[in-house]
Amino acid sequence: MRRFGRCSKCSARAGTLSASQLARFLERDIFAVETDLERLAAFFPEGGHLSDLSQVHHRLADGLAGQSRRYRVDVVAGHRRIADHLLGIWQSGGRDRFTLAHLPAHLAAADHPQALQDLLVEYRFLEAKLPAFGPSP
C-alpha cells in the first residue's frame, strides 16, 4: 500500500498516513482520495516527505506548508480536523499506534490546551501508550 507524506508533527515510529486514513480524516471516498493523491505523486518521491521536494517544487512545498501568499492552507484548521478525528477514535475505544502517537501533537497544534491536558493526565491514555512505544515518545 502506498503511503503519502508526513505531517511535521508525526513521528517516523508511527508511520505515515495511508490513503484510507486520509479518506477517513477528510470524510471522502477512498477512491477519490487515491485519485487526488496520484495526481500529486509526481511531486513526492516514494515514501518521501515534504522537506524532500527539490527546489523546482519549492512553491508547492510553500503552499502546502501555508507559507505562500498565493496558495493558502489553514494549518491550524487542518490540525483541528485531525485532532477531532483522532479524539473521536480515542473516545470510542480506538487504541491504534497512529492515534496514540499523534493525538497529543495535533491537539497542541490545534490550540486545544484543555483537551490536551485532559488526555495527558488520563491514566487510560498513559496505560495504552506506554506498552505501544515505551517511555520515550
Residues 84 and 35 occupy one common structural domain: no
Higher pLDDT, 134 or 85: 85
Residues 8 and 34 occupy one common structural domain: yes
H or E stretch including 17?
strand 17-18
Residue where a domain stops, chosen among 25, 44, 64: 64
Q: How many domains does the chain have?
A: 2
Residue 69 lies in a domain: no
Q: If you ran DSSP here, which 8-state letter would residue 44 be given?
A: S
**Lowest-confidence region among 7-16, 58-67, 70-79:** 7-16
Residues 108 and 85 occupy one common structural domain: yes
Higher pLDDT, 25 or 10: 25
Is the pLDDT reported for residue 1 higher than 50?
no
Is the pLDDT reported for residue 126 higher than 70?
yes
Where in the sequence is the domain holding 88, given as residue range(s)?
Answer: 75-133
pLDDT for the residue numbered 111: 92
Predicted TM-score of the model (pTM): 0.57
Residue 70 lies in a domain: no
**How far apart, in whole angstroms, are the C-alpha atoms of residue 41 and residue 39?**
6
Mean pLDDT value across residues 96-119: 93
